[in-house]
Structure 1
Amino acid sequence: MAAPDTPPDSPPPISAVEMPSGKDAGTENFPVGSVLLPARLRPHVARFYAFARAIDDIADSPDLDAAAKIDRLQGFEEAITGRDTTDPAYAKGHALRVSLEATGVPAIHGVELIAAFKQDAVKGRYATWAEMMDYCRLSAAPVGRYLIDLHGGSRAGYASSDALCVALQVINHLQDCQDDFRVLDRVYLPADWLAAEGASVSDLDRAACTPGLRRVLDRCLEGTRRLLDAARPLPGDIIDRRLGLEAAVIVSIAQTLTGRLARQDPLAQRVKLGKAATAFCAARACAAYLMVPGAYR
């Protein structure tokens, strides 16, 4: 991998094609470009996040139709792959392309994210857990793969990273299941499980989970626990110890959120971690990573 040239910390300004949601790194469940990462690489992570936030906001905009979303997403794909290098509307894509060229990380991770968001523009239902997993791999795994490539790789390939990223995506879908349905008419729950448990998508519009919907959420959480079991070796697999430490923190946060979603109703309240709980997860993970041999095997 080429030695990275450090880009400016500030992302390009918002352009006319973007649809800013107001979300930023501070609103995410999990740390983005935190101080745990090497300082020389944080600006590159910031560029990737700015690009990912821009295309996610386009896909999630209730004010654009599917054709407009796909057209704008295609513009970002052309920018990061170099088919277009001049259109200022896609400045965050051009900034990421420059970063990728400096670090030697391939553009495929960004291209796959765009493919996932193009799918979001036209698809709002998933028939089975397997079909949902295919979507989650496309929409989440590229983020972990990008970070691994940027930090010099993993001793065990991408498998444990993919499992963690998919688990994080399911957690996010469960947290946001009501808003996704009400605002975007998207349901990231397997239709066959809803039918089997006597639930329907309209249950997502209620003030609290019906028993059938609760059982569907619990089945999703069981799948998430299996994914987190597969993700457990990740911190020890990553070559860069600082990224390994961040991965340990993210695994700890994900496990805690999974437990909360099992006990709390995401229709009745926002299920999230406060600063104190997040700090506790981080401290626990750092202690295990640094002081307990074999903690992540």
Structure 2
Amino acid sequence: MTAAGELRSGKGHKDENFPVASKLIHPRHRALIFAFYNFVRTADDIADHISLPPQEKLAQLDRLEAELLGNGETQAEAVALRRAFAERGMPPRHAQDLLTAFRMDVTKLRYDNWDDLIHYCSYSAMPVGRFMLDVHGEDRATWAANDVLCAALQINNHLQDCGKDFRDLNRVYVPLDALSAAGASVEELGQAKASPALRSCLKSLAERNEALLMQSASFSSQVKDARLGMEIAVIDTFARKIVNLLKTRDPLSENVHLSKLSMLMLAAMASGFEIGRRAAGVKSMPRLSTGA
């Protein structure tokens, strides 16, 4: 039997669009966060595996969940996370929600509309932020702002990778009604350059995502842990910068990802801004400009 870890893509936490247990997070939380990340990355890579048959993907995801819940010792990532949860007295709920999303990735290749996509994000993205909040003992009243930011992060990723997802996996997260309204087709996602119709569709979705991000503007100020607040401020800044790129560039033919240097500069500015806000005792301040 192939172990789930053998199906990893090789992508690690340093390759993500967002920081994973960065230096901003207190060291006492990092082991659990990395155990969570390794489990989730393994499951995600299984769902995204180009050559693995769908039924084998689902079987591998089932094995990961079974061992996460204590039924077996063969899947290293599941066992490590199970033990890390046990040490902290935390339930596996958020990891299980993410497994639901990965099963959807295997079985659901199209999304009818924006609400359909947000429903997917409720399993694929929101649980990640909820996990981080629970790790830090934050009030669950913060979940509403978290859910909006996490959904926006996920949709950014869908727009950035819309061509690759279609070409490699025949998977389309761009809502079908948005494509239809713009006069674009699914097949256009496989082109080397977006048509005017597809470009209009993707830009309108980026603008809608920008409006979604505005709803989570006060998120960092809602959390008590200063380190986590800085992490949230950094992630929010990355998300808004990516939205600006998606509004002005074609993700099929142009770079819509942040460079490592850009991420470092934005992280320094956002964390400094958050420190200043907290030091001044200000509940909220105008958000940093990320430029175009």
TM-score (ref. length: structure 1): 0.91
Is 1:295–2:284 an aligned residue pair?
yes
Aligned letter for 1:48?
A: F
* C-alpha contact (below 8 Å) 1:126/1:187 kept by paired residues: yes
Aligned residue in 1 for 2:289: none
Describe the SS at the equivalent of 1:45. Answer: helix
Is 1:131–2:116 an aligned residue pair?
yes
Aligned residue in 2 for 1:171: 156
Is 1:159–2:158 an aligned residue pair?
no
How many Å separate the matches in 1 of 2:132 and 2:81? 13
Aligned residue in 2 for 1:87: 73
Aligned residue in 2 for 1:56: 44
- Structure 1's consecutive aligned runs of 4 or more residues displaced over 4 angstroms after TM superposition are none
Aligned letter for 1:80?
A: L
The verdict on how the C-alpha distance between 1:95 and 1:175 changes in structure 2, with shifts beyond 3 A counting, is same
Is 1:212–2:197 an aligned residue pair?
yes
How many Å separate the matches in 2 of 1:78 and 1:59? 17
* C-alpha contact (below 8 Å) 2:4/2:43 kept by paired residues: no
Aligned residue in 1 for 2:17: 29
Structure 2 regions of 5+ residues with no counterpart? 287-292
Structure 1 regions of 5+ residues with no counterpart? 1-14
Percent identity, please: 40
Which of 29-38 and 265-274 deviates more? 265-274
The verdict on how the C-alpha distance between 1:205 and 1:224 changes in structure 2, with shifts beyond 3 A counting, is same
Q: Post-superposition shift, 1:164?
A: 0.8
- From 183, 187, 193, the equivalent of 1:202 is 187
How many Å separate the matches in 2 of 1:137 and 1:224? 15
- From 239, 258, 263, the equivalent of 1:273 is 258
Q: Post-superposition shift, 1:189?
A: 0.6
Aligned residue in 2 for 1:67: 55
How many Å separate the matches in 2 of 1:296 and 1:124? 40
How many Å separate the matches in 1 of 2:142 and 2:68? 24
* C-alpha contact (below 8 Å) 1:236/1:296 kept by paired residues: no
Is 1:16–2:6 an aligned residue pair?
no
Q: Post-superposition shift, 1:95?
A: 0.7
* C-alpha contact (below 8 Å) 1:152/1:239 kept by paired residues: no
Aligned residue in 2 for 1:231: 216
How many Å separate the matches in 1 of 2:88 and 2:233? 24
How many Å separate the matches in 2 of 1:163 and 1:39? 27
* C-alpha contact (below 8 Å) 2:203/2:248 kept by paired residues: no
How many Å separate the matches in 2 of 1:244 and 1:180? 32
Q: Post-superposition shift, 1:290?
A: 1.3
How many Å separate the matches in 2 of 1:244 and 1:21? 31
How many Å separate the matches in 2 of 1:258 and 1:205? 22
How many Å separate the matches in 2 of 1:37 and 1:120? 30
How many Å separate the matches in 1 of 2:58 and 2:237? 36
Q: Post-superposition shift, 1:296?
A: 5.5
How many Å separate the matches in 1 of 2:78 and 2:285? 35
* C-alpha contact (below 8 Å) 1:109/1:143 kept by paired residues: yes
How many Å separate the matches in 2 of 1:181 and 1:171? 16
- From 136, 161, 182, the equivalent of 2:167 is 182
Is 1:191–2:176 an aligned residue pair?
yes
* C-alpha contact (below 8 Å) 2:207/2:243 kept by paired residues: no
Q: Post-superposition shift, 1:252?
A: 0.6
Q: Post-superposition shift, 1:105?
A: 2.4
Describe the SS at the equivalent of 1:272. Answer: coil
Q: Residue by residue, what CA displacement relative to the aligned partner does 1:92-133 show, whole Å, maximum 9, x if unpaired?
A: 111101111111222110000000100111111011111011
Describe the SS at the equivalent of 1:156. Answer: helix
